[in-house]
Each structure stands twice: as structure tokens, then as C-alpha cells.
């Protein structure tokens, strides 16, 4: 599941999610749009917060769309 899909499913706003994972809202936006890469530590934190619904490996190695 993507981070964005999980966020929508949980009804969590960008501001709430950014606070949960300890980043600025604009940084979260860049992560979701693929403009920034997630660090291993942040990927693990997101996986833990989402209780495994968002896999850290999918965050670290996103599938390329053609």
C-alpha cells in the first residue's frame, strides 16, 4: 500500500502525518510526489506507524512507472 493510500484510508491529514513522522508538511509533500527520497530511518518509522501497511522497502525502492 502506498503512503498516500494509507493516509486516505486512515483519514489522516498531511499536517497530522507530518507531525507523526517528524517532518515538515512540505517535505511530506515532496516525498509523496517522488521529488525526495525517503531515508531508511524514516521509511522504518512510517512502516511502524502504519503497522506494516506501508512497507519500508516499497518506500525505499518505489516501482518506476513508464
State residue 64's pLDDT score: 67
Distance between start and end Cα atoms, the chain: 19
Structural domains of the chain, ranges and CATH numbers in brackets: 3-60 (1.10.260.40)
pLDDT tens digits for range 6-65 = 999 999 999 999 999 999 999 999 988 888 999 999 999 999 999 999 999 999 998 766
Degrees, nearest 5: CA angle 54-16-43: 30
Q: Which of 35, 64, 63, 59 is nearest to 47 (CA)?
A: 59
State residue 62's pLDDT score: 82
Q: Structure pTM?
A: 0.85
Amino acid at each position: 500500500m502506498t503512503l498516500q493510500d494509507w493516509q486516505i484510508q486512515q483519514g489522516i491529514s498531511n499536517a497530522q502525518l507530518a507531525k507523526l513522522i517528524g517532518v515538515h508538511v512540505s517535505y511530506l509533500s515532496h516525498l509523496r510526489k517522488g521529488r525526495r527520497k525517503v531515508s531508511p530511518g524514516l521509511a522504518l518509522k512510517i512502516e511502524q506507524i502504519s503497522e506494516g501497511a506501508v512497507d519500508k522497502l516499497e518506500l525505499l525502492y518505489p516501482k518506476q512507472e513508464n
